[in-house]
Structure 1
């Protein structure tokens, strides 16, 4: 028999329902209860996720390495679930009826994001709690309800925070009603002419060359992003207007008020405990040192500092950062569970470290820096990353530095976006994108954590310490939650930092191996036996470094005398600025402007010039890498297709390389003389994708398994239409899109031919 005073004995034979077991704290809590409270029968409330049932999700959870010893001792996952774990499928938004015979409920589930959309924060942290408590009341009058909250429900208060109700007079019902309808309101606002016109114009400036439907899709995506940002902003502003740091702490505080109403119900008082952890981080000892699931609050900042990307932080050096290991949190929860309070008198427990074992930001910085000094991240081939020196200049100085950097980046970004394409421009764009992501990271996390970095709070944990000291020595060892014993230097340098950097180091190593093992310019082409595969190529800028103005001059100058040629060059040069402006607005307008210049030429003469004078020149201008790739596709049995805005005569030298060439057709009169117009609209932007879909349907081509090669943002629809897009020496806009979507980017070498002239058919004499 176990001594009556032990936690295991107090919980022996009890039936406990847990929520949130698929989350970080819930998983650790389930592990501890299975390991140290063998007489407890557990029901877990888990929602279905897509086609995966709650039962299957729970079984997958128990197959994680952390549960290996427990599962082995029970004889397998199925045996463990049959003996000790029941699964209740459901969602807090519509909580199901709870099983009979419950003794306690521990509510760990909730929205833990600091900046959730306001409606989601209220729905999860307030309405979800209320729904669950309604089911608890239906299940029986004597159920001990343990609510997991956060110490930061104290909000923007300063000084010592007692383990007691948060003092506020916010109208719970009014705020809940307001919060839940905000999405509908903001969705309506997002469809206003003001918002739509602004987002549409921005999208059309960026995507008009690709096509209006591409711009429309970008507009709708921008509208949805605006809705999300606005819902976050509204929640944050409302929270701060009432004295909380953010929507998370605000809704958690209102959730506590719902719990307090449940406890103090005049008709039926109930037993309620509220546990308030501070910042929960990796385990100190159990299940093993450094155990953590996902990134929590400190991890992104630690990793960014180790990467050399966090130059400062808006905290005072002596401000306390209140961290608590997750195993201390769940040990305290189990101890609270085993010691229910009197009905109608809620008990409050802070699980925190700042009052009796304070960790300051200076101490945190010194220990994290010491860890990375000993175990640095590698900066590519340049050795170890250089670590920033924090001087803690204050939040205002950090904000000025960040704002100045953001403005400088905006100017540089505009310049690069309008610079001529080239390897140097793409390299600058890549570096600017890296800097932009860094600035976005800094802005997000500095805004998000500024309140916590400046919070001058000391959470009193007298109740928690009293509970710990009331335990037997055996329970104090098995359920350790006295945070005063944590050695921060040991924890940060030898436990926490190694744990959070380990997966990043593994990913970096895997990335280096992939880079070393793979030719970055040519990916292997694999054949498919399940259907026809196509390879669709653009011409100008992709296969060869040419453009339609240059190729126009190749053909037209051959027909003219020396003086006429100089005159033609001057005439075209005068038109180039207007043509470039047209090309930036709409690719088809640009092509039409160029092809107007063929007015009066004989199509048969253009064919003859191409065959007699341009074949060798065109072939010599092809990129060797491009030709090699085309042949690889043909050898693999793929159907090769050239889609170009160039006129048909210029593609004649390329016919042996392709199964089909789709080119611009010049309109001619009944004498075979070009009219200056096209026989049909040029295939550009979205019309290329439409043609590809029709061609694929007619020839049995599986576009999802097919390849596309292009160099310009105007060809975005072509690349989007295939499952294997490849950006070839792309312009800045396409380069950025390709990087965001993890498309293959290649830098095919240009031809080594020294022949480069506007008149390959003859000198200008």
Structure 2
């Protein structure tokens, strides 16, 4: 299957949305590195014009360390020539018809040439136009592709909400809700959003007020139907629209769990930005996180980004051209090779004890094991006794004696706000009780393994190959420090 995957990419024209996002970049680099005879990659970027799209591609994709293996293999000039031949950055936006692609000639050319459509575009804001109606716009675009063989859509495993137990790789039905209390009408949700936006604009609210009000609306609507936040709510509706309107076009839905740094390709440890649990790891290493809300035994489903990209290529090779098919793949580790929050906490403590970060004053930052609290009630009580009451006392002193140095107060206040922000962000994950079934994904792995054993490692996405101690201690945390903290 590895050689079949490489052969599959030969002479293919592929549209990729969501560039220059983290996963989309890794996916594009993989294709260019393993199959130089790919015909063309159309990369959809948000940009004002062709020149801006090209600039974004170079600065936010090609010039990243991720491409250094390809650059070392080809040389700087040859890489530029290769990319010029193979890659076409396109200014566009999946939230509008025809993906915002301008020019009838370009549109017709794309519809005549594209074989595979890969949608990785998403937003964490409450924006149904991207997460919900974006996939429908991509689907409608894909249907116009004369040679279109497959639409591969990247969602998230956490569309399941806060369910527990073994979570199946199954599709959503149109109008389905997680709590079963009422039918979900996507058009109604969209109209509510538009109506609220019009009201806020009439009131001359600031951009910040509008943003916060829309987030609040999104959260209330998500929770009404059983989802914990707007991101997974809007991603779920996007999946529903794909399933309902797909007709005969083959659809693959990839649902990754929490994506982490590269495991091996193009080299270990590459990452961009603080992702999922990384904010907690970095805050802990900086000595800013003394306590955290988490179930120590809760499984944190982590998966390296290159394994997700490998699963995407393999699934595309298997399902392309299979009319009428719709398949969901959980790409994660909880079912085959779980790691708990307590394990990650221990590994982070070991790492930063042995390799402390350096503070602004040049001295090493000493970390303590910290306190993990497994319920929100315990966490709130601890924060009140340990921080909030002392903070109120310091605030009172600051009011009575304004000349007093308030740095202590500000430091504690900053730590409380950080802890509360991280808890609010990660509560659905660190208290999560579900395990993601990966029966479909295991079949995908077996198909690949059976056909071409000698090249098995080239498209690795088996979580059993991960030694978590080694990965966290020698790959992931060092990668965070090198590529995110830039130290």
Give the shorter-chain TM-score range.
0.7 to 0.9
Shift of 1:49: 5.7
Shift of 1:505: 6.2
Consecutive unaligned residues in structure 2, runs of 5 or more: 102-106, 177-182
* 1:234-289 Cα shifts (integer Å, max 9, x gaps): 212221221112100000001111111232x2xxx111100000000101111211
Matching residue of 1:22: 20
**SS at 1:53's partner residue?**
helix
Q: Does 2:23 match 1:43?
A: no
Shift of 1:181: 3.7
Q: Does 2:377 match 1:396?
A: yes
Q: Does 2:47 match 1:67?
A: no
Shift of 1:356: 0.9
State which of 304, 309, 314 in structure 2 corresponds to 1:330.
309
* Pairs within 5 Å for 1:375-454: 375-379=355-359, 380=361, 383-404=364-385, 405-406=387-388, 408-410=390-392, 412-413=394-395, 415-417=397-399, 419-421=401-403, 425=404, 427-428=405-406, 430-454=407-431
TM-score (norm 2): 0.88
**SS at 1:106's partner residue?**
strand
Matching residue of 2:10: 12
Say how many residue pairs are matched: 459
Determine the C-alpha separation between the residues in 2 that align with 1:52 and 1:408. Answer: 55
Query: Is contact 1:108–1:148 with CA below 8 Å preserved after alignment?
Result: yes
Matching residue of 2:114: 102
Q: Does 2:345 match 1:346?
A: no
Query: Is contact 1:63–1:77 with CA below 8 Å preserved after alignment?
Result: no
Q: Does 2:285 match 1:303?
A: no
Determine the C-alpha separation between the residues in 1 that align with 2:326 and 2:250. Answer: 7
Shift of 1:102: 1.0
Determine the C-alpha separation between the residues in 1 that align with 2:31 and 2:66. Answer: 13
Matching residue of 1:497: 477
Determine the C-alpha separation between the residues in 2 that align with 1:396 and 1:37. Answer: 54
Determine the C-alpha separation between the residues in 1 that align with 2:87 and 2:365. Answer: 48
Query: Is contact 1:59–1:77 with CA below 8 Å preserved after alignment?
Result: no
Matching residue of 1:33: 31
* Pairs within 5 Å for 1:248-647: 248-263=231-246, 265=247, 269-340=248-319, 342-379=322-359, 380=361, 383-404=364-385, 405-406=387-388, 408-410=390-392, 412-413=394-395, 415-417=397-399, 419-421=401-403, 425=404, 427-428=405-406, 430-471=407-448, 472-502=452-482
* 1:584-616 Cα shifts (integer Å, max 9, x gaps): xxxxxxxxxxxxxxxxxxxxxxxxxxxxxxxxx
Shift of 1:59: 2.7
Bigger radius of gyration among the two = 1
Matching residue of 2:162: 156
Matching residue of 2:141: 135
Determine the C-alpha separation between the residues in 1 that align with 2:399 and 2:292. Answer: 31
Matching residue of 1:55: 54
Matching residue of 2:104: none
Query: Is contact 1:7–1:335 with CA below 8 Å preserved after alignment?
Result: yes
Determine the C-alpha separation between the residues in 2 that align with 1:29 and 1:416. Answer: 53
Residues 224/141 of structure 1: CA separation in 2 closer, same or farther (3 Å cut): same
Shift of 1:409: 2.6
Residues 252/273 of structure 1: CA separation in 2 closer, same or farther (3 Å cut): same
Determine the C-alpha separation between the residues in 1 that align with 2:45 and 2:439. Answer: 34
Determine the C-alpha separation between the residues in 2 that align with 1:496 and 1:315. Answer: 21
Shift of 1:50: 8.8
Query: Is contact 2:3–2:455 with CA below 8 Å preserved after alignment?
Result: no
The higher relative CO (CA closer than 8 Å, separation ≥ 6) is in 2
